[in-house]
Amino acid sequence: MKRLRMVLWVIVALAAAGLVFLHFRPADDRQTKEPVTMVSFGGPFTLTGADGKPFSSARLNGKPYAIFFGFTNCPDVCPTTLARLVRLRQQIGKGDDAFEIVFVTVDPERDGPAEVGRYADMLGSPVIGLTGSPTQIEQVKKQFGIYSKKVPDEHGGYSVDHTATVLLFDRNGQFSSTIALEEQDAPALAKLKRLTT
């Protein structure tokens, strides 16, 4: 019985010591997380349009726009995402002028001006298709925080893994929001409406 009492007192003493330590430890130990900072996306760029001529981002000045990075051989995500943007733009009720849709290839080796032009035309609504040299594309990807990587396939060719998020920019060229691949239409449409007001 005496031994049991002793063990209990030791446990109580250890618990009290732990509470004192938690109360008096330095504040820096309590906050291990870094403060959240806003990430900046975008910036001026010049790529090549579907007509083979330089396309400067200055042509987007004064217009809200949605920009998506993909590739013309993409079997599902890219055509689905672009078609969805076209559909949501129509739902806003301001026609094709509601906001610009910009498609930038992450596969410049296969996607020249003609390829991005045909791809954009298939959507049946104005979409700006852009390409460039591998160096130009890498620079723009870096500016917009886009990831892409070639993945060999079983036929000796390759596909491309890439960021599937749409980035939204306001009339002043400032980053506004994103639309995720799995995001429902209602919140996506709300973001686009805010962008166009």
DSSP code, position 156: S
Alpha-helical (H) ranges within the chain are 2-24, 27-30, 77-92, 113-121, 134-144, 185-196
pLDDT tens-place string over residues 20-55: 333 334 444 444 444 444 456 789 999 999 999 999
Is residue 170 exposed (0-12), middle (13-18) or buried (19+ Cβ within 10 Å)?
A: middle
pLDDT tens-place string over residues 143-156: 999 999 999 999 89
Looking at the whole model, is its pTM more than 0.85? no
Q: How do strand 128-131 and strand 100-105 relate by DSSP bridges?
A: parallel
Residues 68, 40: Cα–Cα separation, whole Å? 16
Strand order in the sheet with 54-56: 54-56, 46-49, 128-131, 100-105, 65-70, 166-169, 175-179
Confidence of residue 80 (pLDDT cuts 50, 70, 90): very high
Does the structure show a pLDDT above 90 at 161?
A: yes
